[in-house]
Structure formats: C-alpha cells, structure tokens
Amino acid sequence: MAPKYSDKFRRDAVRIETSRGLTLRQITSELGVGVSTRIKWAQQHQNDDLMSGPHEDVEKENARLRKENRLLREKKEVLKKTTIFFAG
C-alpha cells in the first residue's frame, strides 16, 4: 500500500521543484515518490501560490509597479525628444 502524504508535504514538493530549479526526476528521487505521483500533485496544487498570502501586499506592489512603469515611460519620452532635438 502506498504511503499517505500530508497536503503540506505535497505543496512543499511542488514548491521545491519550482524554487530550486531541479528536474522532475531529481525531485522525485529525493522525495522517494513516483514521477506520475509528483505530476498529479503539481496539477492539484498549481494555483496554490497564486491565491495564498495577504492580497493587500500584492495590491500595494501592483500600485508601486504601475507608478514605476509610468515614470519610466515619461523618462523614455523625454529621452526621445532630447535625441530628436540634438539630432536636428
């Protein structure tokens, strides 16, 4: 009979592969689980990281990135105008 793994263990196994950059075979041999089992876990927990954690932090980060993006676009426009001025 196959051993029962906790949900936390399964999530951690999925996270290890993505964060450490190891191959599927390396992860399965380290954890002692089959490749098909590990693939099934990845499918079950693929969206866990997207929905976990406080969402207000994500919203603050998105606002910061939008502001930074706007400022960089403005700088780009200034540089374009400067280049045209000095080229002409």
Statement: residue 70 has pLDDT above 80: yes
Residue 73, domain extent: 54-88
Statement: residue 84 has pLDDT above 70: yes
51-68 pLDDT, tens digit per residue, is 555 667 888 889 999 999
Q: Are residues 40 and 63 in the same domain?
A: no
Q: Are residues 4 and 44 in the same domain?
A: yes
Q: Are residues 37 and 66 in the same domain?
A: no
From the DSSP assignment, how many helices (H) and strands (E) are in the chain? Answer: 5, 0
Statement: residue 30 has pLDDT above 90: no
Tell me what pLDDT residue 2 has: 64
Distance CA 33, CA 54 (A): 32
Q: For the chain, what is the mean pLDDT?
A: 81
Burial of 12 (0-12, 13-18, 19+ CB in 10 A): middle
- Output helix, strand, coil percentages for the chain, rounded to the nearest 5: 80, 0, 20
Tell me what pLDDT residue 51 has: 53
Tell me what pLDDT residue 68 has: 95
Total domains present in the chain: 2
Q: What is the mean pLDDT of residues 3-24?
A: 78
